[in-house]
Chain A
Amino acid sequence: MIEFVDVVKTFPDGTTAVDHLDLTIPDGAITVLVGPSGCGKTTSLRMINRMIDPTSGQIRIDGKPVGDSDPAELRRGIGYVIQAAGLFPHRTVVDNVATVPVLAGTPKKKARAHARELLDRVGLRPELADRYPAQLSGGQQQRVGVARALAADPPVMLMDEPFSAVDPVVRDDLQQEFLRLQGELGKTIVMVTHDIDEAIKLGDHVAVFAEGGKLAQFAPPDQLLADPTGDFVAGFVGRDRGYRGLSFTTAEHLPVEPADTVVEGLRLAVDGDGRALGWDGDGSTRLPTEGTFTASDTMRRVTDLAILSPAGAAVRVDASGRVDGLVRHATVAEHLRERQIERLRGHGRSTAGAEG
């Protein structure tokens, strides 16, 4: 657990980067600090490993004030990943990864062997180990950066815009890979980004910072989309937050109609195994279903399927792929309306993990 207790950081030029920050970052989860540039999110991140010391207030890791530790010792126990990876260009990939263990006194040979295992773990081919960073693509470099941060197996990892220097396709791969890895490792991760979509996609908790170093809201991403506190957060999370919020709700409570219901003059055709073939009308050609969903899929997918369907109905299947019901978009809309009323009246929220 990382705690910020009334932390203030004022720079010598008089600007206040962080203004009375109180924040408790939970263990084993991804916490994303997000906000416009100059909002103090990076300063806050760097105060955790004492790259910057606060003007006043205290930061504690597991109850222990970071100010009590020797900075170098403290940093060796905290993984650190930065934009464009920040790899050492004069060292091979394997030596980059072995950096922290070697600093901490692990024999070089042992540290290198472990580094090779880590490279495999982050999805890099073994022959890349002996190359220099300049010989790798941006995405590969970023993976090396993650492997380097993991080398000493730190419980806490700090990531400063880790995916912003790569193109969108590679970024998406890296993000998925990162979530998979975190699923295995369960580290306490603090990540900084200026991209609210990335924050919502990756964060278990999102801290939105406003200009002037004030914390505007700290909440799980679905709550951020549904109940932004004030105009700043609402504006920052974006205009289509209602639609994006559907990614955090599953279709499990959605009422279905029997699969043989005639919808808008169309009837769903199924084969002998109960699989959807398409929509049949009066003598016209069979129209495609555009896909199916299961009860564990998100409302976003159901809504999308209903919009795409020629009958205006999404097709639900069970785990084995057999059609077991239909949902019209009118039903989806009504279900969402009821859910929103419930939410605004402060009742329980149904949440699911981030999509993907």
Chain B
Amino acid sequence: MEFFSDLVEYLEINYSTVLQAITDHLYIGLVPVVIAFVLSLPLGFLVVRYSWLRVPLLTLSSVLYTIPSLALILVIPGILQTNILDPNNVVIALTIYGLALLVRTTADGLSSVDPLIVQAATAMGYKPVRRWFAVDLPLALPVVLSGLRVATVASVSMASIAALVGIGGLGQLFTRGFQLGFYPPPIVIGLVLSVALAVLADLVIVLVQRAVTPWTRLRQGA
């Protein structure tokens, strides 16, 4: 019981720090996913449209994904001339990881669309751009959104790394705990909250997915 009273006491004293850590964590974790998602749509389109781009682009994204996160975060200020403590270093790093995952799944999603349906749409008189948004993209959504779930959970979890380079987020609560001689309350709070945020973000996407792809949950019954 002593552990729980320590937890409560820690929260009472530090609730504003914890709240700030949550907001920072969400910013660091989610903004990259949004940027990566938006960028992955045209890139996925290019990969599917111009098949010669497929191997180089997807290989590049796989290679980027293998770079250790800490190394990437430390290299970015050198390349982009940003301040070493700028949270955008982490945002950029996580965007690269998100993009590496999402370009592949978006391309896979767009490739999974039945060419016969696309052809039918063209024959109905759709012009290419309108057809892409009205037919190709919606039909790719089940695969695209599955990829987005993976990327979101990965990004929100990885956001903790920001604390190691002195930037906010729930990772700060871990470093705080270590600095206090392995004092459990901040570590446990940070852990529980970062898992909770990842699960929550995943849940939101699942709900969106259910709302925008109703046709995927049907069974035949005429």
Contact of B125 among A72, A89, A90, A134 (CB under 8 A): A72
Size bracket of the A interface? 20 to 34
Chain B residues lying within 8 Å of A89, measured Cβ to Cβ, are 117, 139, 215
Residues of chain A within 8 A of B219, CB atoms compared? 135
Question: Cβ of B218 and Cβ of A135 under 8 Å apart?
Answer: yes
Interface residues as binary, B118-136 with A (CB distance below 8 Å gives 1, 0 otherwise): 0111111111001000010
Additional A-B contact list (16), CB under 8 Å, known A75-B123, A82-B123, A103-B126: A51-B123, A80-B120, A80-B123, A83-B116, A84-B116, A86-B117, A86-B120, A88-B139, A89-B215, A100-B125, A128-B222, A134-B215, A134-B218, A135-B220, A137-B222, A140-B222
Complex interface: chain B residues within 8 A of A100 (CB): 124-125
Q: Which single residue of chain B is at the shortest CB-CB distance from A70?
A: B127
Known: A90-B138, A136-B222. Is A72-B126 also a contact (CB below 8 A)?
Answer: yes
A132, CB-defined interface residue at 8 Å: yes
Interface of B is mostly: helix
Q: Give A41 Cβ to nearest chain B Cβ, in Å.
A: 16
CA distance A88 to B137 in the complex (A): 12
Question: In the complex, are the beta carbons of B116 and A86 less than 8 A apart?
Answer: yes
Q: Report whether A82 and B120 are in contact in the complex, using a CB–CB cutoff of 8 Å.
A: yes
Q: Is the CB of A99 within 8 A of B220?
A: no
Taking Cβ atoms with an 8 Å cutoff, the residues of B that contact A are 116-117, 119-127, 130, 135, 138-139, 213-215, 218-222
* Residue A316, interface by CB 8 Å: no
Complex Cα gap A84–B120 (Å)? 11
Measured between beta carbons, the chain B residues less than 8 angstroms from A49 are 123
User: B124, B135, B221, B222: which contacts A75 (Cβ < 8 A)?
Assistant: B124
Q: Is the CB of A76 within 8 A of B117?
A: no
Beta-carbon contacts under 8 Å, A125-153 to B: 128, 132, 134-137, 140, 148
The distance from the CB of A258 to the nearest CB of chain B, in whole angstroms, is 54
Question: Is A104 an interface residue when CB atoms closer than 8 A count as contact?
Answer: yes
Instruction: Evaluate contact between B139 and A90: CB separation under 8 angstroms.
Output: yes
CA A104 to CA B139, docked complex, whole Å: 22
State A82–B124 Cα separation when bound (angstroms): 11
1/0 contact string of A78-109 vs chain B (CB within 8 Å): 00101110111111000000011001100000
* B222 nearest CB neighbor, chain A only: A137
Assuming the contacts A89-B139, A90-B139, asked whether A75 and B122 have C-beta atoms less than 8 A apart, the reply is yes
Which residues of B sit under 8 angstroms from A74, Cβ to Cβ? 125
B122 to chain A, nearest CB (A): 7
Closest 6 CB pairs of A and B: A86-B120, A76-B125, A75-B125, A80-B123, A132-B215, A137-B222
A73 interface residue (CB < 8 Å to B): yes
CB distance from B121 to the nearest CB of A (A): 7
Which chain B residues lie closer than 8 Å to A84 at the CB level?
116
Chain A residues, Cβ within 8 Å of B215: 89-91, 132, 134
